[in-house]
Structure 1
């Protein structure tokens, strides 16, 4: 196959204990999946209708690289989230098929240009410019599901400059991992290489240039990084 221009590189994530990397096809996210976070944002949770949005695959930042402070904002917020990586997919999956599709788990930040999101909400516009910008999805190395899997009591936390900003347990999620995958498969054909950000607990706040962050999914994944100058 010959192309008129060089094709873009395939974004990928390291896998703990493996030399091969995980290629990223698409990044799905769920909003308002922790009730306390929804309340702090002045929103309500409709458990019957999960709310999804997407980020481009090349928004992923990995391998300890600095996260560039984005343009067009003065209010960059962190949202720590468990990340699920898929090795299989399909449409209209049942619960068993959804569980079998899981490759592994990581932890990431759904970075948000909160000021642009507020404008979009006020005008009933889509959130793309607030969520799907460059470098908006730093993600840790992945842990194989066969090596370690999270459970209801697993803690998720985020430290900024060694201060605890966010923390919670996975049992606080409105929609669990299996339910998220099943619901997504009713809207999209899922495929190997897809990532799913599973929502954030309360405590979201601003990041500044030069801040250092440490996100942890207890006993499974660790993400450390720094916000650059942009």
Structure 2
């Protein structure tokens, strides 16, 4: 998953980004003011935006209003030092999905982020199931037909992304955009190698293939036996 963090406090931004990268393994892009943050949102490749309320150039509420006016429905978690009820109500009415008051615990932030991403994908429960494949997104464990499958961090992230989109064809470009930050030099063969290893591990103890490759289009989970 790919997250945009719009925060002008450098140390806080670095700590949050490190926690998201090292914990759930998200790709994280950083913006230090509202105008840069708003510009980056227009790529449309983020699964969640963490938005500080007090920002230079354009404040968080301004960013949020412009996003929602443009039809951007990406989940937004607001970071705010303001505890007034009126401010919180204004934020929620403007389209914020959740808020967290500073100072906050990084563990709580990660839990809120995961919950918002699941809800944004239409999966409120932490367990995802497609055919006989099961992922627990809190524990980051994978099972197929009840058997534990040991995946690398990137293999897990690819599978989780596909599990959020059962039966949907996901292109290599989409996987690159959502799994790597903008500093990564994109190479589609990296994705091909990870998908190949992921497929091999998932199919090791099953006669039913797990991931279908559609030449020139991308990849798709095979939802059930006999269904492409």
TM-score band w.r.t. shorter chain: under 0.3
Based on CA coordinates, which of the two structures has the bigger radius of gyration? 2
Larger relative contact order, structure 1 or 2 (CA cutoff 8 Å, min sep 6): 1
TM-score by length of 1: 0.23
Higher helix share: 2
TM-score by length of 2: 0.23
